[in-house]
Amino acid sequence: MDIKLWMDHNMLQLNETKTEFFVISSPRFEHSISEVRLNIGSDIIVPSSTIKNLGVVFDKTVSMSNQVSSICSSISFHLRNLSCIRMFLDQAACQDAVRAIITSRRLDYANSLLYGITSKDSNILQRLQNRAAKLIL
């Protein structure tokens, strides 16, 4: 069934310019998948290599490396900002700031999706946690 007709029939509106999709496959079979395209109305949508949904970055092999990179850049940004004001905070206030800004919002959010990541990505996240602990102490 045509997606556009179904959406119109159910009084839903689709923004074709913001619509994206991707095909998930193992790296082994990635090359064997033919070029998939999605036709919605007069628009043709090609698959994306990564998609962000609810703040989590997925790639077509679900390796989560892009998500780890996103987490790292966000945490590094916040750690740099906190280090600029660290001299004005006592240890308890710094600990609360790290817990509120870094741990709960970036490291703990959707962390169950990180199960099975590579040891390289795991080490990167561990180093960020160590940097946050050093900032507190």
Shared domain for 95 and 69, answered yes or no, is yes
Shared domain for 23 and 70, answered yes or no, is no
Shared domain for 67 and 42, answered yes or no, is no
Shared domain for 15 and 43, answered yes or no, is yes
What whole-number distance in Å separates Cα of residue 22 and Cα of residue 32?
15
Q: What pLDDT score was predicted for residue 36?
A: 78
Q: Which residues pair with 93 in a beta bridge?
A: none
Q: Is 55 within a domain? A: no
The tokens for 17 are 């310019």
Q: Which residue range forms the structural domain that includes residue 126?
A: 63-136
Burial letters 107-122, b for 16+ CB under 10 A, else e: beeeeeebeebeeebe
* Predicted confidence (pLDDT) per residue in 79-136, tens digit: 999 999 999 999 999 999 999 988 887 888 888 999 989 999 999 999 999 999 999 9
pTM for this structure? 0.76
Shared domain for 114 and 87, answered yes or no, is yes
Q: What are the DSSP calls for the chain, one per residue?
A: --HHHHHHHTT----TTT--------TTTGGGSPPP-EEETTEEEPPPSEEEETTEEEETT---HHHHHHHHHHHHHHHHHHHHHGGGS-HHHHHHHIIIIIIIIIISTTGGGGTT--HHHHHHHHHHHHHHHHHH-
* Predicted confidence (pLDDT) per residue in 64-83, tens digit: 999 999 999 999 999 999 99
Number of domains in the chain: 2
Q: What is the bridge-based pairing of β-strands 56-59 and 38-40?
A: unpaired
Q: What pLDDT score was predicted for residue 42?
A: 75
